[in-house]
A and B are shown apart, each in its own frame.
Chain A
């Protein structure tokens, strides 16, 4: 037990202390929410650099729709003016435009966040969502408060005149620096700006990647090796966690690096299982992972044929291939990079396996 824990610490924590590994402090950008079903689940908070693009998209959408409305009003005004010859309609159009501008400037976010479950179009595109900080969706009142208070979060305002004093057009455009909101966001636990604090809301990542990640074992030597692990071996919870982490991350590591990392855990296990010392450490960990999570554990018969998913015939062919590959040293003919990487240590093992399997 102690050996394993220490090894896990070496494997996954930069500082090899047991305490570090045991207490897995959550990242500071996740927030735990307890549902009415009394289940706690995590949200990932969105910081200023995720929220800025969403805001800019919203500003662009507001601008484009407003320009489109101006165009429509002008067109209809021209048509109607041509028909009636009245000066009233352009004025009505201007009044409507001004009121629309006012509503858009202050209530665009309120409307979308209240009626589309905490998402404006910009947030929807960027995968963000506003929720109440107890995890519930926001109410209309919260949406109102947080959007009205954007005026202070965007302060202090400046103009571009400082950059170009000659140009009078740029000098007129107000430039919101957003420093108040940025400072508040960086100094609060939930990355809230002032509007969020007053409304009791927070912005979280609204994940849309919904593929269930299951580490599939496509290496046929893994079940073979796992059948030789003693039947009384049980992975401890921490060991199981370490194995699952390893199996998920090994695809991103180069084969020598995998062996280097896996060796710390695998070498004591090799002694314990009385395996040959030249068994690939990566393959051994993968096999234990397979046995812990994927194989039928107790009910598993020592024969490889009982493993679900492939037949003994295909397995035999695979081993013959592996043997052939080993003897001809033609590593390049192997079907996958994993095979190529682990050929040297495990082919010996596979060769040792093959007579028993044929019987």
Chain B
């Protein structure tokens, strides 16, 4: 058998396949290519696959086999391309899948219970000056307390440019914390620590500002009322998504550990997507409505409206339906 002749015959096809691969890699998509070229590419790919399969029968030299491995891998990557998710699929995830998961997922309940429980406890401790005189100062630090007080001494009144910039800041900062909490969830404990830290610090701030002795309290609650529902729920949700993912490492449900982790990550993403949407809504509220000198009634109305929206989202959209695989 003459390998050299065989290689010469095949080589023409291989170089043609390489050329097509190169074009596909540079241009990315096949829009500019004719259908004939695409089908030619598929034909060449299959024949290269056949060559690789017969490589041992042909007793091809190892270097040629290595070359064929790379060629087939390269063509394989061009033929089977990554499926890009469309905007419509994300709308479906947020509107249909996420509420179903949130409604049925015990991890979300645990995270919500932990967050709002610690938040309430911490608020009560910080508020009650007689029983826990040192709590607020220990948690927040004296420096932070005076800073918080001084920043809410003035009545709320900001200009349009301040609103814009703060919205941007809240999107960047708060959503970042939420996503980080989600990512930490894969190891469970960092997520729980982040969640508890936020709950305790926020609760202590609320409790401290609610004291009668603190003059800036009124302005503070004027500020936080409007965006509170969205933001606090979003933090709890992102932690819930993280816990769902991390739990897959331990509660495998009969799957291999890696497969279970992968499956639970897929389950967690819709919850996190809903949390990101809430963070964005909270950021715009916090940027535009909260610091504005609007009457408190308007802000409270917005808070009630947003709570109602959340209830509708969780309960009406999330109620388990027959024949729905999301639950």
Contacts and interface: CB of A to CB of B under 8 A. Distances in A.
Given A150-B183, A151-B184, A241-B62, A35 B76 contact: yes
Interface size grouping (class) on chain B:
35 or more
A200 B260 CA distance: 11
A102 B173 CA distance: 8
B195 interface: no
A185 interface: no
Most-contacted residue by chain A among B62, B74, B78, B186 (CB, 10 A): B186
Interface stretch (A138-146, A260-268, A322-330): A138-146
Contacts of B2: 293-297
B179 A94 contact: no
Interface string A103-119: 00110000001111110
Interface string A159-203: 000000000000000000000100000000000001001111000
Contact of A152 (B61, B64, B171, B186): B186
Interface string B196-224: 00000000000000000000000000000
B84 A140 contact: yes
Contacts of B172: 98-99, 101-102
B161 A88 contact: yes
Contacts of A91: 160-165
Contacts of A292: 3, 59
A174 to B, nearest CB: 12
B49 A293 contact: no
Nearest to B170: A98
Contacts of A113: 82
Interface stretch (B65-73, B135-143, B296-304): B65-73
B70 A207 contact: yes
B62 A248 contact: yes
Interface size grouping (class) on chain A:
35 or more
B82 A99 contact: no
Given A102-B172, A237-B59, A199 B262 contact: yes
A98 B82 contact: no
A88 B161 CA distance: 5
A294 B59 contact: no
A340 to B, nearest CB: 26
A265 B269 CA distance: 61
9 contacts: A33-B73, A91-B163, A115-B82, A117-B77, A129-B77, A137-B77, A148-B272, A200-B258, A213-B63
Interface of B: 1-5, 7, 11, 14, 18, 28, 46, 49, 52-53, 56, 59, 61-64, 66-74, 76-78, 80-85, 159-165, 167-169, 171-172, 175-176, 179-180, 182-184, 186-187, 190, 245, 258, 261-262, 265-266, 269, 272
